[in-house]
Amino acid sequence: MPATVILGAQWGDEGKGKLVDRLAEDATWVARFQGGNNAGHTVVLGERILKFHLLPSGITREECNLVLGDGMVVDPWVLDKELSDWVEGGGTDPAGHRLFISGRAHIILPYHRYLDGLDKKIGTTGRGIGPTYSDKINRVGLRFDGLPHADTTAMAERQNAALEAAGCEQRVTSAELDEQIAWIVNRFGNAIGDTGIMLDNALKMGENVILEGAQGCLLDIDQGTFPYVTSSVTSRGNSTHGAGIHPGHVETVIGITKAYITRVGHGHMPTELFDDDGDHLGTVGHEFGTTTGRKRRCGWFDAVVMRHANRINGFTEIALTKLDVLGGLEEIKVCVGYRMGDREITEMPSSAIDLESCEPVYITMPGFPGLSIEEWLGIARKCNSEGIGFSGLPSAAQSYISKLETLLGVPVSSVGVGPDRDATIDRV
User: Nearest-CA neighbor of 65 among 202, 214, 184?
Assistant: 202
If phi > 0 it is left, if psi is from -120 to 50 it is alpha, else beta; for residue 403 that is alpha
Which segments of 34-90 are extended strands (E)? 41-45, 48-52, 65-68, 73-74
112 is catalytic: no
Do residues 267 and 305 touch, judged by C-beta distance below 8 A?
Answer: no
Question: 246 Cβ partners below 8 Å, 6+ apart?
Answer: 240
Q: How far is CA 332 from the centre of its chain?
A: 26
Which residues lie across from 43 on neighbouring strands?
Answer: 50
Name the 3-class secondary structure at 47: coil
Q: How does strand 99-102 pair with strand 192-193?
A: parallel
Do residues 316 and 252 touch, judged by C-beta distance below 8 A?
Answer: yes
Question: 378 Cβ partners below 8 Å, 6+ apart?
Answer: none
13 is catalytic: yes
Q: How does strand 343-345 pair with strand 331-340?
A: antiparallel
- For residue 190, CA distances in Å to 144, 185, 196, 313, 370 come to 11, 8, 16, 35, 50
Query: CA 265 to CA 226: how far, in whole Å?
Result: 13
Do residues 251 and 240 touch, judged by C-beta distance below 8 A?
Answer: no
Do residues 143 and 94 touch, judged by C-beta distance below 8 A?
Answer: no
Do residues 209 and 28 touch, judged by C-beta distance below 8 A?
Answer: yes
> Helix, strand, coil shares of the chain as percentages rounded to 5?
40, 25, 40
Question: Largest Cα–Cα distance of the chain, in whole Å?
Answer: 67
Q: Which of 21, 41, 106, 135 is catalytic?
A: 41
Query: What one-character-per-residue DSSP string does 320-334 give?
Result: EE-GGGGTT-SEEEE
Catalytic residue positions, numbered: 13, 41
